[in-house]
């Protein structure tokens, strides 16, 4: 499928708070920044993610999870990874920081995920019937380097689902030439369910999603710090996460 990522309005909009969380579920931001977050988020294109201060405290290292079977490096440095795939427009913003909550500039960040029908680019034998072949394609993959605030932003679509896994986006962070951190970013089940049952092209496929966050062993091991903070914009969703890494 191809076309421009779509915008939409759900009949039951949820109040999705803009919350950056640690492994324990608490806020990364210092108290002073938390007090200013509401007003600052209105003016900042990073919606509060760049409010870190040097010495703000110790950040909990984001846990690593399995890479999965669908990674390859397409050697595509780009901000827009959609390649015309249809779906709900999604802005993925990750801020890479160290254990002291200091932003890491110049770190490479890769993302990859499935399309609205649950298929990844570049591999055969996918889909419910194992008959989908996307060999040679590179949609919904790409990488960038973090800016001075440790931030990367990718234009993509809300990922679909495939059997045995909850909805997720894979990422790799290369803080330097000697180390790599592999993780996954997860989404609220309630939002995913509404999209998959009421919005095309997600609801064009037969069958029903068989795995929730609570049923997914990888999501359980990753914990709450790997849950995306979501914000609803006029024409897209914005998924934000702070990734704390330990350089090699």
Burial string for 148-171 (b: 16+ CB within 10 Å, else e) reads ebbbbbbbbbbbbbbeebbbbbbb
> What are the tokens at 123?
């591999």
On the CB side of 221, how many CA atoms lie within 13 Å of its CA?
A: 9
Predicted local confidence at residue 101, as pLDDT: 82
The most confident of the ranges 25-34, 133-142, 233-242 is 133-142
Mean pLDDT of 8-32: 32
Of 52-56, 221-225, 228-232, the least confident: 52-56
CA atoms within 13 Å, Cβ hemisphere of 222? 30
Computed over every residue of the chain, the mean pLDDT equals 80
| In the predicted structure, residue 18 carries a pLDDT above the cut 80 | no
Residue 241, φ and ψ in degrees, nearest 5: -155, 140
Spans of all domains in the chain: 58-244
**Contact (Cβ atoms closer than 8 angstroms) between residue 21 and residue 225:** yes
| Confidence band of 57 (pLDDT split at 50, 70, 90) | low
Contact (Cβ atoms closer than 8 angstroms) between residue 58 and residue 101: yes
**Mean pLDDT for the stretch of residues 47-63:** 55
Tokens standing for residue 195: 């999209």
Peptide bond into 201 cis (omega under 30): yes
pLDDT band at 34 (very low <50, low <70, confident <90, very high): very low
pLDDT at 247: 67
Look up the CATH number of domain 58-244: 2.60.130.10
221-246: burial string, b at 16+ Cβ within 10 Å, e else: ebbebbbbbbbeeeebbbbbbbbbbe
Overall average pLDDT of the 173-177 stretch: 91
Q: What is the pTM of this model?
A: 0.81
Res 54 pLDDT > 90: no
């Amino acid at each position: 499928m191809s076309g421009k990522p779509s915008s939409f309005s759900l009949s039951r909009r949820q109040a999705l708070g803009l919350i950056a969380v640690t492994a324990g579920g608490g806020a990364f931001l210092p108290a002073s920044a938390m007090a200013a977050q509401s007003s600052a988020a209105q003016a900042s294109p990073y919606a509060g993610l760049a409010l870190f201060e040097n010495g703000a405290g110790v950040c909990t290292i984001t846990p690593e999870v399995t890479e999965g079977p669908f990674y390859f490096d397409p050697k595509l440095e780009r901000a827009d990874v959609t390649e015309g795939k249809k779906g709900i427009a999604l802005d993925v913003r990750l801020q890479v920081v160290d254990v002291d909550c200091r932003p890491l500039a110049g770190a490479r960040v890769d993302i990859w995920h499935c399309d609205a029908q649950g298929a990844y680019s570049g591999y055969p034998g996918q889909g419910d019937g194992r008959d989908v072949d996307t060999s040679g394609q590179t949609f919904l993959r790409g990488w960038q380097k973090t800016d001075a605030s440790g931030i990367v932003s990718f234009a993509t679509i809300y990922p679909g689902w495939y059997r045995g896994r909850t909805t997720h986006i894979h990422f790799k962070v290369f803080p330097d030439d000697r180390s790599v951190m592999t993780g996954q970013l997860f989404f609220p089940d309630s939002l995913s369910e509404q999209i998959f049952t009421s919005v095309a092209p997600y609801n064009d496929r037969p069958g029903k999603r068989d795995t929730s966050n609570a049923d997914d062993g990888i999501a359980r091991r990753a914990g709450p710090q790997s849950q995306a903070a979501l914000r609803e914009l006029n024409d897209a969703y914005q998924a934000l996460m702070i990734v704390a890494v330990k350089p090699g």
